[in-house]
């Protein structure tokens, strides 16, 4: 399976909202596997939407379609993507490993390799692995950032009852794939 096919699937899912065409999931066995996935939309090198599913509840092909549409039209941080904007966007797909609970310690977080998910007092947050490297964070800053993403104080990762999960992601970046051509 070529990575560009996954990018095309995400883009066709978004385009289907504009053109009404039925989405065809390519016939790759990898797309049948249940996987967690996030789809990130980038416009002019800026975040334009990012939504996904951390746990492997659906087949990868279905997850990519749902995450792409949600990132384009349902990310509460942004207005729905317009058809005019569609031609300006690039897609990044992060295919996740199953999150595993981990101790919240700096020496336990591998920056650039681990993504983080947290839960504390009913609040939760998730940051993909690339967030730490893109923002030049160290492990402590990354732990603080996932707390803030959850709407919690930045130091709550040090509190009793704080729960942390780590995961890895295979990142498929449209911009990088286009450079390789």
Comparing C-alpha atoms, which of 130, 125, 169, 160 is closest to residue 143?
125
Q: Which has more confidence, 86 or 1?
A: 86
pTM for this prediction: 0.93
Is it the case that residue 1 has pLDDT exceeding 70? no
Measured distance between the N- and C-terminal CA atoms of the chain, rounded to whole angstroms? 17
- CATH 3.30.700.20 boundaries in the chain: 3-96
Is it the case that residue 93 has pLDDT exceeding 90? yes
- CATH 3.30.1490.150 boundaries in the chain: 100-167
Do the beta carbons of residue 94 and residue 37 sit within 8 Å? yes
Do the beta carbons of residue 71 and residue 51 sit within 8 Å? yes
Mean pLDDT of 57-82: 97
Domain 3-96 bears CATH identifier 3.40.50.300: no
Contacts of 122 (CB under 8 A, 6+ apart): none
Q: Tell me: the pLDDT tens digits for 104-136?
A: 999 999 999 999 999 999 999 999 999 999 999
Is it the case that residue 11 has pLDDT exceeding 90? yes
Res 177: pLDDT: 85
What percentage of the chain has pLDDT greater than the value 90?
92
Q: Which CATH number fits domain 100-167: 1.10.150.120, 3.40.50.2000, 3.30.1490.150, 1.10.260.40?
A: 3.30.1490.150
Structure tokens at 58: 């659906």
């Amino acid at each position: 399976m070529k990575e560009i096919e996954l990018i095309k699937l995400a883009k066709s899912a978004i385009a289907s909202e504009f053109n009404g065409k039925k989405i065809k999931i390519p016939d790759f066995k990898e797309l049948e596997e249940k996987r967690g996935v996030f789809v990130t939309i980038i416009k002019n090198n800026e975040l334009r939407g990012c939504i996904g599913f951390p746990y492997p509840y659906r087949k990868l092909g279905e997850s990519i379609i749902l995450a792409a549409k949600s990132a384009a039209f349902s990310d509460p941080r942004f207005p729905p993507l317009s058809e005019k904007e569609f031609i300006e966007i690039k897609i990044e797909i992060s295919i996740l490993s199953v999150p595993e609970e981990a101790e919240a310690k700096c020496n336990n977080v591998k920056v650039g390799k681990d993504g983080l998910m947290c839960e504390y007092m009913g609040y939760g947050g998730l940051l993909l692995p690339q967030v730490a490297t893109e923002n030049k964070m160290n492990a402590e800053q990354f732990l603080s950032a996932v707390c803030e993403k959850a709407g919690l104080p930045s130091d709550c990762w040090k509190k009793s009852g704080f729960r942390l999960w780590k995961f890895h992601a295979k990142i498929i970046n449209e911009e990088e794939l286009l450079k390789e051509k």
